Structure 1
Amino acid sequence: MALLEQELKEIIIETLNLEDIRPEDIDTSAALFVDGLGLDSIDALELGLALQKRYGISLSADSAETRSHFASVHALAAFVASARTR
Structure 2
Amino acid sequence: MNTHLSGTPQTPFEHEIAERLVDVLQLEIAPDEIDPVAPLFVEGLGLDSIDALEVALMVSRAYGVTLSSDDPNSREIFSSLRALASHVTVMRPAG
- Relative to the length of structure 2, the TM-score reads 0.83
* Structure with greater helix percent: 1
Write the letter of the residue equivalent to 2:63.
Answer: Y
Kindly report the root-mean-square deviation, in angstroms, between the aligned alpha carbons of the 2 structures.
1.5
User: Taking CA–CA contacts closer than 8 Å with sequence separation of 6 or more, which of the two structures ends up with the larger relative contact order?
Assistant: 1
Identity %: 45
Asked which structure has the greater CA Rg, the reply is 2
Partner of 1:81 in structure 2? 89
* Counterparts of 2:55 and 2:92, CA distance in 1: 17
Partner of 2:41 in structure 1? 33
* Counterparts of 2:72 and 2:79, CA distance in 1: 11
Confirm or deny: 8 A CA contact 2:65 2:93 kept in the other structure: no
- Relative to the length of structure 1, the TM-score reads 0.91
User: Any gaps of 5 or more consecutive residues in structure 2?
Assistant: 1-9
Number of residue pairs matched by the alignment: 85
